[in-house]
Each structure stands twice: as structure tokens, then as C-alpha cells.
């Protein structure tokens, strides 16, 4: 999940009354920085990805958090790593931002294949398009073809707008500092779609 999605979705979930935790598993701590938080080395991504016993902590910790909260959002760095595999073990829903590019769509196919191979039938994949520029013919054609092949794509698309990048400058969720902006309204629609898909409070990645 990209930084903007994790921060904005977690904020919107909390605004609708769900008790929400945003867990920043990116070693760079981008979500923590964007919300003016302080890093905590005791629960760092590096420690959770170190050794079999350590990686089991992630699942145990998410279970304990799940007992006290409606929604747990795990923000992880891109790429298939040991940390990614353990996030997949802990998650019920996988929210996947997809840039309209061939390699990004190929990654989605690989992710689906990996989950099918492991037999994790209880995890749901919710891909959506991000950093979209509909003025580009390549984006238009890739999105059209992908929506034909992958019926599970969410309807809402997040454009490649500079307003979204202001999250790291303002160090706050977009709906908090610009609630009436077109970008904030799009994230609100994205959250409404996610909430409709999950149907009840679950852990989301």
C-alpha cells in the first residue's frame, strides 16, 4: 500500500467511527513522518523480518490488536520480501495500488499466483489504479485491458496530482487539511468502496 493510501484510508476509517490503527512497516517510516509520529524501534520492520520466530510476532501482534480495534492498516514497502509474506499471513484484505504500467500489472498477476500457490483462500485482493493520467493513451489502454481481465478492480481511480504529494509537506492526511479538494473526495469514494467490499470491521493491509 502506498503512503498516501495508507494514511488517507486509515484517517477516513477513523472519521467514520471505526477504531483504527495504522502500523508503519516501511523501514523509511514515511507514514509515521507524515502523521508527525515518532519511530519506535521496539516494533521496527527490520526486527519483524529477522528469523522465523521474529516474523511470527507480526501475526500474534495483529491478533491482539484485532481484539481491541475495528481496523488495522499495515503499511508496508513494495516488493515481495519476507516481511511481505508475513503481512499476507496476517491480513484479511490486501489493498493494492496499481500504477498503469505493464510491470505493475505483471506484479499483480504474480501476487495472485503466489497467494493461490500458498493456498491462502481467506485473503481478499482489492486492486485499484493509482497515479493515473487519463490524458496518456498508454494509461487509457492499459486500464481498459486490465479491467477486462481483472474484474476485482475497484472503480475509484486516484490521479497523479500534486495535491496528493502535499501530505508529506503538511504532515497530515489530505481529508484533514483539504477536505473539500477533488483529491480528498476521491479518497473518500475509495474508502466507501473498500468499506462496502469488506462489509464488516476486519484487518486491512
The residue among 86 and 186 whose pLDDT is bigger is 186
Cell of 4: 498516501
Closest CA to 39 of 25, 19, 50, 49: 25
What CATH homologous superfamily does 3-198 map to? Answer: P-loop containing nucleotide triphosphate hydrolases (3.40.50.300)
The residues facing 54 across adjacent strands are: none
Residue range 15-45, pLDDT digits in tens = 988 888 888 888 788 888 899 887 665 555 5
Residue range 168-203, pLDDT digits in tens = 999 999 999 999 999 999 999 999 999 998 875 444
pLDDT at 203: 46
C-alpha distances in angstroms, 150 versus 27, 98, 142, 155? 31, 12, 12, 12
Q: Is the dihedral of CA 27, 175, 62, 42 positive or negative?
A: positive
**Residue spans per domain, the chain:** 3-198
pLDDT at 200: 53
Amino acid at each position: 500500500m502506498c503512503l498516501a493510501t495508507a494514511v488517507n484510508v486509515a484517517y477516513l476509517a477513523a472519521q467514520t467511527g471505526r477504531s483504527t490503527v495504522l502500523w508503519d512497516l516501511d523501514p523509511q517510516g514515511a507514514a509515521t513522518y507524515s502523521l508527525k509520529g515518532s519511530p519506535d524501534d521496539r516494533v521496527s520492520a527490520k526486527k519483524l523480518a529477522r528469523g522465523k520466530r521474529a516474523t511470527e510476532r507480526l501475526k500474534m501482534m495483529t491478533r491482539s490488536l484485532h481484539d481491541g480495534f475495528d481496523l488495522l492498516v499495515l503499511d508496508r514497502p513494495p516488493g515481495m520480501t519476507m516481511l511481505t509474506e508475513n503481512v499476507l499471513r496476517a491480513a484479511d484484505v490486501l489493498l493494492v495500488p496499481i500504477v498503469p504500467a505493464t510491470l505493475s500489472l505483471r506484479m499483480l498477476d504474480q501476487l495472485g499466483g503466489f497467494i493461490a500457490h500458498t493456498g491462502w483462500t481467506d485473503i481478499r485482493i482489492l486492486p485499484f489504479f493509482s497515479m493515473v493520467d487519463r490524458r496518456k493513451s498508454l494509461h487509457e489502454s492499459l486500464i481498459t485491458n486490465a479491467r477486462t481481465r481483472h474484474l476485482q478492480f475497484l472503480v475509484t481511480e486516484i490521479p497523479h496530482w500534486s495535491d496528493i504529494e502535499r501530505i508529506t509537506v503538511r504532515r497530515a492526511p489530505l481529508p484533514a487539511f483539504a477536505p473539500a479538494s477533488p483529491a480528498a473526495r476521491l479518497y473518500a469514494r475509495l474508502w466507501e468502496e473498500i468499506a462496502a467490499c469488506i462489509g464488516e470491521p476486519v484487518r486491512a493491509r
